[in-house]
């Protein structure tokens, strides 16, 4: 049986998962919106989000679990994620008359403790739709945090911290146009 590392308060993580047997988890645009609404309800109270991308059959989040003294209703952080995935699965099963699991058994989590990897992971997450051939330009994909990063609209995303990692907005945009070694990043976490 796979040993699952518990999420710890005050730590950074790459959270990811995919549909069971790589099947879709999002079937139409309203599903993406609903998932993000549930994410806001379940995860925003316990985590800060730095990057995210929702793909048809998988997702990625780069988050920091808040410090324990910042969380009002204290329980183990993984419970908040489990509640999110369970709520989404129940809604999808009801809407599409499904009766089975939607996600792979346990969501994946990778502790991030290296700034270089943190920056590369932001680019990897944002470029995921391009790397999977969904679009040619990350500007054309609506279900990632990239567009929020380059906008000035109100957000809970840690946009300023993300942009500062790349020095400024111009460099952030330029770096996202570079080719990155996706295989190296994917080998670091196991998809």
pLDDT tens for each residue of 84-128: 999 999 999 999 999 889 998 788 999 999 888 899 999 999 999
Q: Decide if pLDDT at 9 tops 70.
A: yes
Predicted confidence at residue 109, as pLDDT, reads: 92
Q: How far apart are CA 118 and CA 51, in angstroms?
A: 10
The conformation of residue 144, written as its DSSP 8-state character, comes to: B
Q: How far apart are CA 114 and CA 120, in angstroms?
A: 10
Predicted confidence at residue 97, as pLDDT, reads: 93
Kindly report which listed range (42-46, 162-166, 176-180) carries the lowest average pLDDT score. Answer: 176-180
What average pLDDT does this structure show over 8-22? 93
Long-range contacts of 40-48 (CB under 8 A, 24+ apart): 40/156, 41/84, 42/80, 42/81, 42/83, 42/84, 42/87, 43/80, 43/81, 43/84, 44/156, 45/71, 45/72, 45/73, 45/80, 46/71, 46/77, 46/80, 47/77, 47/80, 48/156, 48/158
Domains in the chain, CATH or no CATH each = 12-188 (3.30.70.1290)
Q: Decide if pLDDT at 188 tops 60.
A: no
Predicted confidence at residue 185, as pLDDT, reads: 58
pLDDT tens for each residue of 20-68: 988 999 999 999 999 999 999 999 999 999 999 999 999 999 999 998 8
Predicted confidence at residue 191, as pLDDT, reads: 45
Predicted confidence at residue 190, as pLDDT, reads: 52
The conformation of residue 26, written as its DSSP 8-state character, comes to: -
Q: Decide if pLDDT at 186 tops 70.
A: no
Output the CA torsion sign for 112, 118, 122, 127. negative
For residue 131, which phi and psi values (nearest 5 degrees)?
-65, -30
Residue whose C-alpha is closest to residue 86's, from 75, 78, 97: 78
Q: Decide if pLDDT at 184 tops 60.
A: no
Q: Decide if pLDDT at 1 tops 50.
A: no
Q: How far apart are CA 119 and CA 166, in angstroms?
A: 8
């Amino acid at each position: 049986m796979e040993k699952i590392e518990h999420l710890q308060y005050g730590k950074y993580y790459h959270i990811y998962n995919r549909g069971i047997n790589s099947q879709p988890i999002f079937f139409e645009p309203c599903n993406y919106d609903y998932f993000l609404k549930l994410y806001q309800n379940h995860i925003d109270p316990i985590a800060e989000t730095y990057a995210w991308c929702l793909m048809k059959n998988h997702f990625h989040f780069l988050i920091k679990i808040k410090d324990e003294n910042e969380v009002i209703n204290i329980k183990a952080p993984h419970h908040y994620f489990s509640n999110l995935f369970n709520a989404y699965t129940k809604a999808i099963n009801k809407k599409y008359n499904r009766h089975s699991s939607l996600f792979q058994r346990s969501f994946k989590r990778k502790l991030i403790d290296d700034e270089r990897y943190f920056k590369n992971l932001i680019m990897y997450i944002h470029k995921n739709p391009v790397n999977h051939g969904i679009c040619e330009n990350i500007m054309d994909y609506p279900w990632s945090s990239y567009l929020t990063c380059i906008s000035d609209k109100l957000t809970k995303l840690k946009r300023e911290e993300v942009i500062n990692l790349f020095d400024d907005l111009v460099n952030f945009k330029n770096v996202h146009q570079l080719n990155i070694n996706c295989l190296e990043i994917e080998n670091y976490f196991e998809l």
